[in-house]
């Protein structure tokens, strides 16, 4: 019996996914205007909402946090396992006609938005190849805090506004025109972000990986709070590359009794120091 060639390009239903609904994900269509993205509602299987939210990390601080800095239960772990699974990767690969098997991933969780710090229009870092945003907020009704797929750097020029409601998922290919942002919002808004990353030399994520080993010198909870602190940007850049003044976003600040690791300016000036506020 002859096989339809189109059937060969479709991924098999990902039956191994425990939390995400593979049928919903596979039915979602790729949109190419104003850039490549996929949007799907109700991506989490029925009857899992209560358990997943009960096991989700609780964080009242604004910003995105890696899983290593958060506490969560087994139901939330199953969701993370699904996002990191080969089955989910193959669904995304099919949508965007990509092979993502050789690209590393990062996952972070955001629990609270800041009216002043979050929502600014951007395209994402060049290191990000694919971004997945999964929202986990039952009964979300606010336009503020709802992500907009933008045609330009104008927040009101949008193709789609995506409520941060439970189970809503946006997947997009990063490009120079993948503008997105949201209206200012202050308060709780739970989301998970997954990225497939390009290890591009000289970019912020590249240096973040290069300097990751320094974290062992000081636990995150012991970072000093008496900012600002002088950074040895040139010294760190020279140590890493053999050349002064390179793009780094991690630097070492030395105080009288400790070494701390934190975000610095995207570009450190050569032959000089820079002052920043500790993260």
Using one digit for the tens of pLDDT, what is the confidence trace for 54-80? 999 998 888 899 999 999 999 999 999
Residue 65 has a CB neighbour count (10 Å cut-off) of 15
CA dist., res. 50 & res. 230, Å (int): 46
Query: Tokens 């991924």 correspond to what residue?
Result: 11
Question: Which has more pLDDT, 59 or 2?
Answer: 59
Distances (CA, A) of 131 to 138, 170, 177, 195: 22, 8, 14, 5
CA dist., res. 197 & res. 194, Å (int): 10
Q: What is the pLDDT of residue 199?
A: 77
Per CATH, which fold does 5-197 belong to? Jelly Rolls (2.60.120)
CA dist., res. 133 & res. 260, Å (int): 30
Q: What percent of the chain has pLDDT over 70?
A: 66
pLDDT for 77-115, tens place per residue?
Answer: 999 999 999 999 999 999 999 999 999 999 999 999 999
* pLDDT over 90 (residue 177): yes
* pLDDT over 50 (residue 257): no
* CA 126 and chain centroid, separation: 13
* pLDDT over 80 (residue 234): no
Mean pLDDT for the stretch of residues 186-192: 96
Task: Outline where 204-266 has alpha helix (H).
Answer: 204-210, 233-241
CA dist., res. 131 & res. 151, Å (int): 17
Q: What is the pLDDT of residue 16?
A: 86
Q: What percent of the chain has pLDDT over 90?
A: 63
Max Cα-Cα span within the chain: 76
Question: Which has more pLDDT, 120 or 206?
Answer: 120
Distances (CA, A) of 45 to 15, 52, 80, 91, 95: 12, 11, 14, 16, 20
Q: What is the pLDDT of residue 48?
A: 97
Confidence of residue 247 (pLDDT cuts 50, 70, 90): very low
pLDDT for 109-127, tens place per residue?
Answer: 999 999 999 999 999 999 9
Question: Which has more pLDDT, 49 or 225?
Answer: 49
Domain boundaries, the chain: 5-197, 204-276
Confidence of residue 46 (pLDDT cuts 50, 70, 90): very high
Strand partners, 196: 105, 130
Confidence of residue 14 (pLDDT cuts 50, 70, 90): low
Which among 169, 172, 215 is positioned nearest to 196, based on CA atoms? 172
* pLDDT over 60 (residue 41): yes
* CA 228 and chain centroid, separation: 27
Radius of gyration of the chain (CA): 20
Q: Mean pLDDT for the chain?
A: 77
């Amino acid at each position: 019996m002859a096989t339809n060639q189109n059937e060969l390009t479709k991924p098999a239903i990902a039956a191994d996914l425990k939390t995400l609904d593979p049928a919903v994900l596979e039915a979602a269509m790729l949109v190419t205007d104003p850039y490549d993205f996929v949007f799907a509602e109700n991506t989490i299987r029925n009857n899992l909402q209560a358990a997943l939210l009960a096991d989700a990390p609780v964080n009242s601080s604004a910003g995105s946090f890696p899983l290593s800095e958060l506490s969560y239960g087994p139901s939330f772990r199953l969701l993370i396992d699904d996002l990191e699974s080969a089955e989910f990767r193959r669904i995304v690969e099919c949508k965007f006609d990509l092979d993502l098997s050789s690209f590393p991933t990062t996952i972070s969780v955001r629990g609270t938005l800041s009216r002043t710090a979050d929502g600014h229009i951007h395209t994402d870092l060049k290191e990000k190849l694919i971004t997945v945003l999964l929202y986990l907020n039952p009964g979300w009704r606010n336009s503020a805090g709802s992500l907009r797929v933008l045609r330009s750097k104008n927040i009101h020029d949008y193709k789609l506004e995506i409520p941060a409601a439970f189970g809503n998922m946006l997947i997009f290919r990063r490009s120079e025109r993948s503008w997105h942002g949201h209206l200012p919002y202050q308060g709780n808004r739970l989301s998970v972000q997954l990225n497939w990353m390009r290890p591009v030399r000289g970019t912020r994520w590249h240096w973040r990986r290069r300097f990751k080993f320094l974290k062992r010198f000081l636990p995150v909870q012991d970072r000093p709070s008496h900012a600002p602190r002088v950074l040895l940007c040139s010294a760190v850049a020279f140590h890493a590359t053999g050349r002064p003044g390179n793009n780094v976003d991690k630097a070492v600040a030395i105080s009288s009794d400790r070494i701390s690791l934190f975000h610095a300016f995207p570009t450190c000036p050569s032959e000089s120091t820079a002052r920043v506020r500790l993260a």
